[in-house]
Structure 1
Amino acid sequence: MGQCCSGEKHKEEEDVALPEEDLNELVTTTGLDVSELNKYHKDFLKDYPSGHLTKSQFKAIYQEFFPDDPKRKNFADKLFQTYDQNNDGTIDFREFMIALSLISKGTVRQKLALAFSLYDSNGDGVLSYAEILEVVKAMYHMAGDPIVCEDVPPAETFAKKLFTELDRNSDGNITIEEFTEVGSQDVTVANLLLAKITEDEDDEENICTPTGNGT
């Protein structure tokens, strides 16, 4: 009897173990070690036996990690959509951990790549001027009234300048390569582009600072 139960317990642990490929990826992506990830995974499965989170469940957890803020009203929705690659309305443990780790401690390039996905509203793989304008308008809204900052132009003017700076080959579209390259080379531009997904309290002040190139 005892041998039977022990065997069932061992089988259950094997059934819920993270695939080695996912485990290795998450060690690199999140900075957590194997034992920590296995513990989080087991806890995740206790709360969500299906191994998947729905959008409402994800939003509830997201708000625990990052207390709700008017600046982030729609961010959890967009983040969920970014990682729900097959559009089935759920994300798994691997996708969940990657999403949270990128927000909290990803590299600038990783965060820029995430921001690009969020800003690419029609999912065509490039950013248009209209999409950059929406980003700038959101930043202006986050900053309150940008008119109080000296030398801050209207959103349309600012968006055109930012778009020109990001569109390295002047083909009328911004690729993820251009977006991450320019952002990783210019701190001010990076702060602007990441304003919606970073936790820095100083981000709201960045809109008052002209971008690095041009006038």
Structure 2
Amino acid sequence: MGGSTGCFRSRLPPSLTTKDIHLLTLKSDLSREDIEQWYSSFVHCYPQGYLSKRQFVLYYQQLRDEYSAQLLPFIEQLFDVFDANNDKKIDFYEFVLLNVLSNNGSINEKMKLIFRFYEDDKEKHLSRDEIKEFLRHMFDLFDIPSSKSNVTDVLDRVFQKHNLTREQKINWKEFTQDVLNDQSLFRRLISVDIYRNDQFIQRSERF
């Protein structure tokens, strides 16, 4: 739940309601006892009952310290994706769901979250290289295995479908819909190359 640095009590934290606990048990598969323990730690570090964007970025950078500098802009976007009610805060409910997804979510669930990035920008267009960079950072952020050749293959197939050259850009929404609606593309994107010794491709060899 984050380190002790910056943790202090400025006022009494908001209480966790029975309804809150019930909803979280349904959404997260955590027990009531687990949720109460999480909440106790959460309000110890964030007595105001939420994380600001700055606090959220610091929290997530600690989780991904090895890549924190490269991931900074994407962590900021992740905040916007998980700020479900657009109040510029991550409350306990949103915080738990994000942690459960990050730690225990399936690759499919993580990919669907990644594809929600830029969803408010219907005109968002990205080049092949921009999509590669974005996916590389997202896969690092969520520990999703993949490889350069697989991502390149998916991009080739989607760009060909839309009659786009390598220099052109594609609408992000169109790209994500193509991948989500074609299971062969989706599986290809999140699969890894397996060598004869059955060892998965190493992170350093990605993209």
Q: Secondary structure at the match of 2:65?
A: coil
Larger Rg: 1
Q: Counterpart of 1:161?
A: 156
For residues 12-27 of structure 1, the aligned pairs below 5 Å read 16-20=15-19, 22-27=20-25
Count, aligned residues:
170
More helix by share: 1
Q: Counterpart of 1:34?
A: 32
Q: Counterpart of 1:134?
A: 130
Cα shift at 1:141: 8.8
CA contact 1:83–1:99 (8 Å) conserved in 2: yes
Q: Which runs of 5+ in 1 are unaligned?
A: 1-11, 143-150, 193-199, 208-215
Q: Counterpart of 1:210?
A: none
Q: Counterpart of 2:142?
A: none
Deviations 1:113-135 (A, max 9, x none): 111122x2x6246874x266522
Deviations 1:141-193 (A, max 9, x none): 99xxxxxxxx96xx9x86751534898xxxx752755443446874331259x
Cα shift at 1:65: 2.9
Cα shift at 1:54: 0.3
Deviations 1:12-63 (A, max 9, x none): 99x612442x434433443422101111112212322221110111122223
Question: Which residue identity is paired with 2:33?
Answer: S
Cα shift at 1:108: 2.1
Question: Which residue identity is paired with 1:61?
Answer: Y
Output the TM-score relative to the length of structure 2.
0.60
Asked if 1:114 is matched to 2:113, the reply is yes
What CA RMSD, in Å, does the superposition of the two structures yield over aligned residues? 4.1
Q: Counterpart of 1:48?
A: 46
1: distance between equivalents of 2:37 and 2:26? 17
CA contact 1:112–1:183 (8 Å) conserved in 2: no
2: distance between equivalents of 1:31 and 1:184? 30
1: distance between equivalents of 2:202 and 2:25? 30
Q: Counterpart of 1:92?
A: 91
